[in-house]
A and B are shown apart, each in its own frame.
Chain A
Amino acid sequence: MKKCSKCPKPATLHITELVKQVPHEIHLCEDCAQQYLNQDEPSPASEPEEGMMVKLQLDAGDKELAELDKNVCPNCGISFREFRSQGRFGCPHDYVVFGDELEALLENIHDERQHCGKVPKRAPSDSQRQYQLIKLRSELRKAVAEESYEEAARLRDEIQAMETALSQGTGDAD
């Protein structure tokens, strides 16, 4: 998540501004965007300095984007950059993988980071194994598509064993 150019909050508005005919991107959170949009025409004297400042942030932004591309969920394969561009997660495990980046975003949306509502009676235990099932199913589909039937059979057995273990585990817990 790209940070606001003026404060530590995540940016929600992305503006491309021409400073001396050179385009510069500015990333702003909702509050700073309001201030930015309400301000009068920027004074010409401040332009070069501001342009330079934005440029530095832009370079940092490119590095940041490359980093975001590396941050990938091992289960569903979505990168944090993809999530950012489409606004939808790929699987429940993304909330764990992108945990650090999400904290500020969730606080920005909800003002809170801790759930305090309903909890399922059925224990949400074995979530790691639930998430692993997502990965195994995707590998199984790939194996079938590539006609690697031995591998597919192995994966199918592994999925079945895990599903059985999960259902028995939950049964015991109940």
Chain B
Amino acid sequence: MELDDLTHTSGEWLRGTGPEADIVISSRIRLARNLAQFPFLSRSDESTRAEIEGLLHQHVSDLRLPQPLTYLDVQNMSELDRRFLVERQLISRELCESSGARGVGISSGENVSLMVNEEDHLRIQVLRSGLALEDCWEEIDRIDDSLEEKVTYAFSEQLGYLTACPTNVGTGIRVSVMLHLPALVMTKEIQKVYQALQKIHLAVRGLYGEGSQAMGDFYQISNQVTLGKSELDIISEVKDVIPQIIGYERKYREALVKEKRRDLHDQVSRAYGILRTAQTISSEETMHLLSSVRMGINLGLIDDLEIPTVNELFIHTQPAHLQKLRNSALESGERNVARACYLRERLASNNDVP
């Protein structure tokens, strides 16, 4: 698999098929790991970084996974390709923006990514469509076990897996669920969700993790504590709260349909109309409109469009994706025209799911 092969496809986690997929976009678990015999990356010079990268590149490439894995050299990749992988959720912004020897192993279905020389020597990530945290854990635990046979992780009996930042020490686990919550945003109930989650030490973030804004009504809920609890306890804490949020979102969707059906139908139809006919459109407006359309499909207000197509459009209309599709660098204004053109074409033939 080449990087360019990803341009026209979309990851399995976007297929919208898992449990609760109308509201839960994806489940993700990542583990932070470091090699015992090397300093952390903030204290590694270029040659040490290269040595760590070489070693982990080898072990990552040797992994036997259900799907074939491709290792990409992020250091020598163009900025556009790096941004493309960030939009695709396959690498973090930190791996994209840092410097020196670094890479990523990606499984063909895009469910697994292994980042080498991110904040920690190794960040293993597993993604699934819908609410499927146990599946994520089973796979990531197996990958971690396989790697652990080859390398010695920095580990202490008292503090667990030792990480570059003390906020990850212990299990090194970050469990995240991405939710689409348009009704809670429309009714301004989302603030209550924020406050309730903060009280139980769960973090709420935007689509691209730490520091990012919640665009298109997507919210990522994840654990903050990594020490003193087992991986399964941490997974349960995140998982147990999700049905309540789903229930809350459904309740407000139903109320909107009951009390403001005409207004809601009008909003959804206008959004769909603009997306099908606009000649120039910004990334932000696209996200906003796609969010309305996505909710409209789930409520039966739009019947000629599939959720996977909308999920795919969220990703494929972002700046780096558009430039990869066009195979050329585009300025912001040019991207808005290209985005509108792409949306028109894709929505005119929306029954042809690739």
Q: Which residues of A contact B (CB under 8 A)?
A: 75-78, 86-92, 95-96, 102, 105-106, 109-122, 124, 127, 130-131, 133-134, 137-138, 141, 163, 166, 170
- For chain A, what secondary structure do more than half of its interface residues adopt (helix, strand, loop), or is it mixed? loop
Q: How far is the CA of A90 from the CA of B165 in the complex (A)?
A: 10
Among B37-45, B72-80, B324-332, the one that faces the other chain is: B37-45
Confirm or deny: B225 has a beta carbon within 8 angstroms of a beta carbon on chain A.
yes
For B145, give the chain A residue with the smallest CB separation.
Answer: A121
Residues of A near B164 (CB, < 8 A) are: 88-89
Q: Are B167 and A134 in contact (CB under 8 A)?
A: no
Q: Are A92 and B34 in contact (CB under 8 A)?
A: yes
Confirm or deny: B135 has a beta carbon within 8 angstroms of a beta carbon on chain A.
no
Q: Are A112 and B159 in contact (CB under 8 A)?
A: no
Number of interface residues of B (CB under 8 A): 44
Q: Which of B36, B141, B167, B226 has the most CB of A within 10 A?
A: B36
Confirm or deny: B48 has a beta carbon within 8 angstroms of a beta carbon on chain A.
yes
Nearest-neighbour CB distance to chain B for A81, whole angstroms, equals: 14
Nearest-neighbour CB distance to chain B for A57, whole angstroms, equals: 25
Nearest-neighbour CB distance to chain B for A83, whole angstroms, equals: 9
Given A113-B228, A114-B158, A120-B155, A92 and B170 contact (CB-CB distance below 8 Å): no
Given A88-B164, A89-B166, A92-B154, A112 and B227 contact (CB-CB distance below 8 Å): yes
Confirm or deny: B11 has a beta carbon within 8 angstroms of a beta carbon on chain A.
no
Q: Which residues of B contact A (CB under 8 A)?
A: 34, 36-40, 42-43, 45, 47-48, 119, 141, 144-145, 148-149, 152-162, 164-167, 169-171, 173, 225-231, 234
Q: Are B157 and A124 in contact (CB under 8 A)?
A: yes
Enumerate 15 A-B pairs (CB-CB under 8 Å) in ascending A order.
A76-B43, A87-B166, A96-B156, A106-B159, A106-B169, A110-B227, A117-B171, A118-B171, A120-B152, A124-B152, A130-B37, A131-B36, A134-B39, A141-B45, A163-B37
For B173, give the chain A residue with the smallest CB separation.
Answer: A117
The 8 closest A-B pairs by CB, nearest first: A112-B228, A115-B160, A92-B154, A90-B43, A110-B227, A130-B36, A117-B171, A91-B39
Q: How far is the CA of A131 from the CA of B166 in the complex (A)?
A: 18
Q: Are A87 and B43 in contact (CB under 8 A)?
A: no
For B148, give the chain A residue with the smallest CB separation.
Answer: A120
Q: Are A115 and B227 in contact (CB under 8 A)?
A: yes
Residues of B near A75 (CB, < 8 A) are: 39
Nearest-neighbour CB distance to chain A for B117, whole angstroms, equals: 14
Given A112-B228, A115-B170, A116-B230, A130 and B158 contact (CB-CB distance below 8 Å): no
Q: Are B170 and A95 in contact (CB under 8 A)?
A: no
Out of B34, B36, B119, B166, which one reaches A127, CB within 8 Å? B36
Q: How far is the CA of A91 from the CA of B156 in the complex (A)?
A: 13
For B164, give the chain A residue with the smallest CB separation.
Answer: A88
Out of A90, A106, A114, A138, which one reaches B42, CB within 8 Å? A90
* Given A88-B42, A121-B148, A124-B157, 8 new contacts (CB under 8 A): A90-B40, A92-B154, A113-B159, A114-B227, A115-B157, A116-B228, A118-B231, A121-B149
Nearest-neighbour CB distance to chain A for B179, whole angstroms, equals: 25
Out of B145, B153, B158, which one reaches A115, CB within 8 Å? B158
Nearest-neighbour CB distance to chain B for A52, whole angstroms, equals: 34
Residues of B near A86 (CB, < 8 A) are: 42
Q: Are A124 and B155 in contact (CB under 8 A)?
A: yes
Q: Are A95 and B45 in contact (CB under 8 A)?
A: no
Given A109-B166, A110-B170, A137-B48, A115 and B228 contact (CB-CB distance below 8 Å): yes
Residues of A near B37 (CB, < 8 A) are: 130, 133-134, 163, 166
